Structure 1
Amino acid sequence: MTDAAVDLIDLFGGPGGWDVAAQRLGLAVTGIELDHSACQTRRAAGLDTVEGDVRAYSPDDFPTATDLIGSPPCQPYAIGGKGAGRRALDTVLHFASLLAARKDIRSGLATLDDERTGLVLEPLRWTLAALDAGRPYRTVMLEQVPTVLPVWDAMAQILRCEGYTVATGRLHAEAYGVPQTRARAVLVARRQDVAALPAPTHRRYSRTTDQDGGDPALLPWVSMAQALGWGMTHRPALTVAVGTAAGGPDPSCVGGSGSRATLYGERDAGRWIADTRLVDADALPAYRGGRKDTIRVSVADAAKLQTFPSDHPFQGTRTKQYEQIGNAMPPDLAEAVIRRAMAQQLTARTGTRAA
């Protein structure tokens, strides 16, 4: 176990989206992650890491941790996935109620079609265990795909009964300066003051409103071309995908053809800056559906669309690097959540009021 003083414990730490944000704010964070390539990335980035399954640990293993982060695997709940989590949603909500009653649900979770489905309840298990041990987490911050919002709402009711104030909702990435239209379901719980989600800093993207239109008190959303130097000039990128059957991700959601059609439409309409960089062998144009497809993003481009630092050292095969990026919480969005949720602690630490 790490000897470093821990402020935050990050369940399902991935390549460090939340952790990069926490470190920007001067917070110490330890991430638990099962995927070896993601752990290699974390260590190369200097992020404190425990390689293992969150189910094998508990708050007792991290007695100095004061706050909790959780980004459970989204694949069972993602619209583009096989839907095991969505089909089991009522069952997951039932298991949440059993956890609230301090029942052991491990045997029940083992019956789920996809074992990752039940991992969405691990942050609740940790939070309740910390409460029962007399070391309650001051802040709990969770994020997932929007289809998990009913689970977060159920957890909110449970945590309110345990003395937390809780806020849940959908956050849109472009409203926090992320150059993509990713939506996430977020839960923030607090014990010492009122929980709240961060206020937008940038305008929401709209097909019917120019980038300079909308609320003048907010910054314009960031286009794909502004972030990368190429791509769509009139809108942010769509959600960064984990990968495609053709190899490598589109800068789009895993929904597939509809998102690719949007990219092609923007290109064909002339709202596009060409990528003039040299093309290496791993990013050669592919042929799909009878048309030449030159829309590809490199690992570095995908990382920029997720707002990772340009030097974040993603490790593993190219496919594993894309997976890590596509599954990560964008650091800029994570920073907005942490800054608002932990404002009281950040103010006490720095002596200045957190934004």
Structure 2
Amino acid sequence: MSSPGTQIDPLDGVRILDLFAGPGGLDVAAHFLGHKSIGIEWDRNACATRYAAGLPTFHADVTVMRQTRFDEIPRSVDVLAGGPPCQSFSVAGRGAGRAALDTVKEFMRRLVSGEDEARIDEDLHSLNVDPRAALVLEPLRWLLKAIETKGRDPYRVIVLEQVPAVLPLWDVYAQLLRSGEGRLGGVKYEADCWELKTEQFGVPQTRTRAVLIARLVGSGAVSRPSTTHRSFDVRRGRGETHQTEAFTLESRPADKWVSMAEALDSADALPGSMVDMSRFHSKGRTDFFVVSNYGSNGNPKKRGRRLSSEPAFTVTGKVSRNKIYRTQVDFEENKFDRFTIAESGVLQTFPHNFPWSGNDQAQQVGNAVPPLLGMHVLSHALSGAAPSDTQLADSTTWPESSSDLTAHLRDIGCGDRTRCPEGSHKVSRTRRKPAP
């Protein structure tokens, strides 16, 4: 496995294109599986993290990149992956995208049927919905662009992920890909989609994602990725009192979900670790409980709790607002701690030393695909098998990238900044008070 810090040409042999790449969840997964990837990401903070990590990146708008810079995508790319922004579909959002699911399905069918795209865009922009809802169409448009561009081959594999509310759209994607009709020009895929729970793949948090996998017909059948751990019952009943004794690590079977304490203690034990759990040690083990920033059961004042011997709540961009208490006494006295960015990243299964950079780092962590889930999904999509034990063991530490590589990737991604998203590099300055 080559290090991103030792590659002579970052774009040589790239085979995975990651749309809406964020700080690199799928790219990190691809690296540990031995595949090179390049991401398209509009947020300059996420790009800063990607450059520091040695991940090839275009700092660009996905739509603009497809329309005007498609020829810059390496021709070696044969895997299309992506997770379009989920705010408009998320249960935590306003739900404009959920209300427009049927409308978006119709636009998908219109795109494949061959209707004029300018007319489709005009109709799309006239709708009173969150504009981000339309971005779920982008992977389909990239697929059609590849099929219709001379000198390009259809993507061999497609991997998409989103919040569970988008599963009906992935189902329509799968139907269209299997049909080969219209602009697909007879190109057919084996395709299917599912809801996957992250804790069933060893991720130390409860998070459900809608995932689609498609392979060109002739490349093998598509099946649901095999789970490695049990699911966690988020509806488990217990009183409001914090009861550590009933949920000890020692009583947990080996194939059960992975707890926060296990993940963080493992990271803490690594050489040069950026995670320090000593502040939570009690009687020979890491012991704490987390109070969520979000309400539960429709009551904004009722905050859920998770013990250190349980998986974390879904890691969102507000993860830094969760409060961590060592004891019930600390809770009653409001003496709390917070997860660091490195610790939050570990709960997302990023390596403990992943070089988070730029601003809004908590948001970057929360927006990312958990790399461990990505490894299972990508490995299954590409080879029909789970990641090897060696690949999983190697995924705990990130190889350091040289300053020369970071500078080179920044030049590839931003150059003179004239083609970056408009206004993305503007730096706000604090206004000085007028002299008295």
Q: Distance in 1 between matches of 2:77 and 2:142?
A: 11
Equivalent position SS for 1:292: coil
Deviations 1:94-126 (A, max 9, x none): 111111113312223323432211111111111
Task: State the shift of 1:79 in Å.
Answer: 0.7
Instruction: Please list, as runs of the form range in 1=range in 2, the aligned pairs for 1:150-299 lying within 5 A after superposition.
Output: 150-162=168-180, 163-191=188-216, 192-206=219-233, 207=236, 219-228=255-264, 229=286, 230-231=288-289, 232-243=307-318, 248-250=320-322, 268=328, 292=334, 294=336, 296-299=338-341
Per the alignment, in what secondary structure is the counterpart of residue 193 of structure 2? Answer: strand
SS at 1:200 equivalent = coil
Q: Distance in 2 between matches of 1:177 and 1:212?
A: 18
Deviation, 1:291, is 7.7
Which one of 99, 102, 105 corresponds to residue 93 of structure 1? 105
Instruction: Specify the structure having the higher radius of gyration (Cα).
Output: 2
- In the alignment, what sits opposite 1:340? 380
Deviation at 1:196, TM superposition (A): 2.2
Residue 76 (str. 1) matches residue 88 (str. 2): yes
Q: Residues of 1 paired with 2:343 and 2:49: CA distance?
A: 17
What is the TM-score with the length of structure 1 in the denominator? 0.79
Aligned-partner SS, 2:18: strand
Q: Distance in 1 between matches of 2:80 and 2:38?
A: 10
Q: Secondary structure at the match of 1:147?
A: helix
Query: Which residue is 1:136 aligned to?
Result: 154
Question: Where does the alignment leave 5 or more consecutive residues of structure 1 unmatched?
Answer: 252-262, 275-284, 348-355
Task: Assess, with a 3 A threshold, how the Cα gap between structure 1 residues 3 and 343 changes in structure 2: closer, same or farther.
Answer: closer
Aligned to 1:321: 361
Change beyond 3 A, Cα 1:46–1:80: same
Q: Report the Cα distance in structure 2 between the residues aligned to 1:330 and 1:174, rounded to whole angstroms.
A: 10
Q: How many residues align?
A: 310
Q: CA deviation at 1:294?
A: 2.1
* TM-score normalised by structure 2 residue count: 0.65
The 5 Å alignment of 1:48-59 reads 48-58=56-66
**1:47 aligned to which of 43, 55, 60:** 55
Report the equivalent of 1:148.
Answer: 166
Quickly say closer, same or farther: Cα 1:102–1:222, change in 2 above 3 A: same
Q: Deviations over 1:254-311 (max 9, x none)?
A: xxxxxxxxx88x965x9xxx9xxxxxxxxxx9xxxx9837253221121011000111
- Residues 337, 346 of structure 1: CA spacing in aligned structure 2 closer, same or farther, 3 A cutoff? closer
Matched, 1:61 2:76: no
Structure 1 pair 345/220, CA: closer, same or farther in 2 (3 Å)? closer
Does residue 23 of structure 1 match 2:31?
yes
SS in 2 for 1:116: helix
The aligned counterpart of 1:303 is 345
Q: Which residue of 1 aligns with 2:301?
A: none
Q: Distance in 1 between matches of 2:13 and 2:200?
A: 33
Distance in 2 of aligned mates of 1:267 and 1:161: 57
C-alpha distance in structure 1 between counterparts of 2:373 and 2:255, whole Å: 15
SS state at 1:142 partner: strand
2: distance between equivalents of 1:19 and 1:297?
A: 24
Counterpart secondary structure, 1:4: coil
Partner of 2:174: helix, strand, or coil? helix
Kindly state the Cα deviation for residue 60 of structure 1 after the two structures are TM-superposed. Answer: 4.1
Q: 1:128 to 1:304 in 2, by over 3 A?
A: same
Q: CA deviation at 1:148?
A: 0.5
1:217-258 Cα distance to aligned partner (Å, 9 max, x none): x722111222234442342111012127xxx3328xxxxxxx
C-alpha distance 205-21 of structure 1, shift in aligned 2 (>3 A) = same
Over 3 Å counting, the alpha-carbon distance change for 1:213 and 1:166 in structure 2 is farther
| Deviation readout 1:124-150 (Å, 9 max, x if unpaired) | 111122223351111100000000001
Q: Could you tell me how far apart the structure 1 residues matched to 2:76 and 2:126 are?
A: 34
Secondary structure of the residue aligned to 2:177 is helix
Q: CA RMSD in A?
A: 2.9
How far apart, CA to CA, are the structure 2 residues paired with 1:119 and 1:331?
22
* Distance in 2 separating the partners of 1:64 and 1:110: 34
Cα deviation, residue 159, structure 1: 0.5
The amino acid across from 1:181 in the alignment is T
Q: What is the CA–CA distance in structure 2 between the aligned matches of 1:31 and 1:106, rounded to whole Å?
A: 25
The 2-side partners of 1:55 and 1:147 are apart by 23
Distance 1:171 1:4 in 2: 33
Letter of the aligned partner of 2:65 in structure 1? Y
Distance change >3 Å, CA 226–CA 100, structure 1 → 2: same
Letter paired with 2:190: T
Q: Distance in 2 between matches of 1:212 and 1:8?
A: 41
State the SS of the aligned residue for 2:321: coil
The equivalent residue for 1:279 is none
Q: Alpha-carbon deviations, 1:185-208, whole Å to 9, x = none?
A: 000001111122310011111338
Query: Is the 2:343–2:352 Cα contact (8 Å) retained in structure 1?
Result: no
Query: Which residue pairs with 2:370 in the alignment?
Result: 330
Moved more, 115-124 or 97-106: 97-106
Measured in 2, the distance between the counterparts of 1:213 and 1:140 equals 40
